[in-house]
A and B are shown apart, each in its own frame.
Chain A
Amino acid sequence: MINQHEILQTIEMIDQQHLDVRTITMGISLRDCCHSDANTSCTKIYDKICRLAGNLVKTGEQISSEFGIPIVNKRISVTPISMIAESSDAESYVPFAKAMDKAAKEVGVDYIGGFSALVHKGYTVGDRKLINSIPEVLASTDVVCSSVNVGTTRAGINMDAVRDMGLIIRRTAELTNGFGCGKLVIFCNAVEDHPFMAGAFHGVGEPECEINVGVSGPGVVYEALKSCKGQPLDVVAETIKRTAFRITRVGQLVAQEASSRLGVPFGIVDLSLAPTPAIGDSVADILQQIGLTSVGAPGTTAALAMLNDAVKKGGVMASSNVGGLSGAFIPVSEDAGMIAAAKAGKLSIEKLEAMTCVCSVGLDMIAVPGDTSAETLSGIIADEAAIGMVNNKTTAVRIIPAIGKTVGDAIDFGGLFGSAPIMPVNTCSPAEMIARGGRIPAPLHSLKN
């Protein structure tokens, strides 16, 4: 039988160390919602989301109450809308996003992802219309999230798309004063089943409907590491593994419960250490607990590599199906330790870029000066996509040009999105390279060095 110490340890993790299930995300296929008439298609989308996700929020709340574990978000991901909308002759896909927004609000979820296009090798007619609609969508909806996949290890990088996304980010920033960019992710090697926003979408290889769960728990790892001060790093790694196991088991339990109560198959548990702006819920704090005076110090990448790997090793045994992004997240605005380091000038975009080589997911929630050019944004996207492409991993960029602001200012998103200090960007221009467009060919998979 469970002993007193174990019970109190669980309660302490939840009460004081911010252990929570970050999200239950229902993936819904919209492939049967295509129609030559855009209005009919939008109605089908709205009806299907409301029908399948009608009980999602209530079920999440019930599970949360019975197990005594907070479930912070309930979300929906859908088939990339470019694939659904392009059967219609609509020129703008804004109505499709509005149908998603309305359905998400009707069922009460926090966010809906999937206003997306996969263009790593090239555009279809629908992909182009979708991408052109993104700024207006993010300006005129509240809970719709958008993502675009511009590269894969097998296909290389679509540099036309990289160029276009620089412009789209700028236009979105101008229309939304920067805020809309927090709901837009540019991927390389996008995964089809992850539950986290803003990048979640329901891939075409996924079933009709499924439940994916994202766990969290940086605070729990941080507390556990206090017990191994001065110990060798293999002891640290072992401690992280054990802790990640416990965190993930909770995610697995919640996923199975949600799946059986909703009558929807269980997809995956995403083993991610997702921070929040709350004090004590920070990935940066874990790195500092390992022995860095600040995140960004030499050694940061090595510590993060170990953390990321140990989280996977511990988590993978705790769940029957692991997938999604699975790794430590390093969103600047959503992590109190990252915010502090960026504000103090101890953490640069270049160091963050190095960190993304060894962890999930990419340059995330980074605010840059409002006058950062589209070409520079494209250059940053290209660099990040190249890291993903060559290293056979998912990378992403969620970057926010803070209109009217510059280094030294901050932009406050509120809630889980937090607040981001404006970080300096290298001002040398990549304009000529970005203007070339075309494709970066897929990399060689042998002769690895």
Chain B
Amino acid sequence: MRAFVTVIGKDKVGIIAAVCNLLAEKKANVLDISQTILQENFTMIMLVDISACSVSFDEMSRLLSELGSSMELSIRIQREEIFNAMHRI
């Protein structure tokens, strides 16, 4: 199962490291990563494979959201299919 992790918020040191650490700890494999500063907002989008993930989707979502709150960022994880459905025929 693949999902997109999106991280949006104010830029600071260690965002990528913190998110990647959490993903690695829970055995989520990062397949692709893009990062940019958009309208002064730090924006990172990661495609991850969560087939071998050691926690449930809900738990992963909660952990990412908590990490986001602690760093004043919005972090979410959504399955890839919703983006494909909306933007691809």
Contacts and interface: CB of A to CB of B under 8 A. Distances in A.
Q: Is the interface of B mostly helix, strand, loop or mixed?
A: strand
Contacts of A90: none
Given A11-B76, A65-B61, A68-B76, A246 B87 contact: yes
Contacts of B32: 1
A66 B57 contact: yes
Nearest to B35: A4
Contacts of B13: none
B34 to A, nearest CB: 6
Interface of B: 3-4, 6, 8, 32, 34, 36, 38, 43, 45, 47, 57-58, 61, 76-88
A7 B61 contact: no
Contact of B84 (A2, A8, A65, A66): A2
Given A67-B81, A67-B82, A252-B85, 20 more contacts: A2-B80, A2-B87, A4-B43, A4-B45, A6-B83, A6-B87, A7-B83, A8-B6, A8-B43, A9-B87, A10-B86, A11-B8, A65-B61, A66-B78, A66-B79, A69-B82, A250-B86, A253-B81, A253-B82, A253-B85
B82 A65 contact: no
A62 interface: yes
A106 to B, nearest CB: 23
Contacts of B45: 4, 7
A29 B28 CA distance: 43
Chain A CB within 10 Å, residue with most, of B79, B86, B87: B86
Interface in A333-392: none
A358 to B, nearest CB: 28
B88 A11 contact: no
A54 B61 CA distance: 25
Contacts of B77: 68
A1 B31 CA distance: 12
A10 B76 CA distance: 12
10 contacts: A1-B47, A2-B80, A2-B84, A6-B83, A10-B82, A10-B86, A11-B8, A62-B58, A67-B81, A246-B86
A249 interface: yes
A2 B87 CA distance: 8
Chain A CB within 10 Å, residue with most, of B3, B8, B79: B79
B43 A6 contact: no
Contacts of A252: 85
Interface in A283-309: none
Contact of A4 (B36, B61, B84): B36
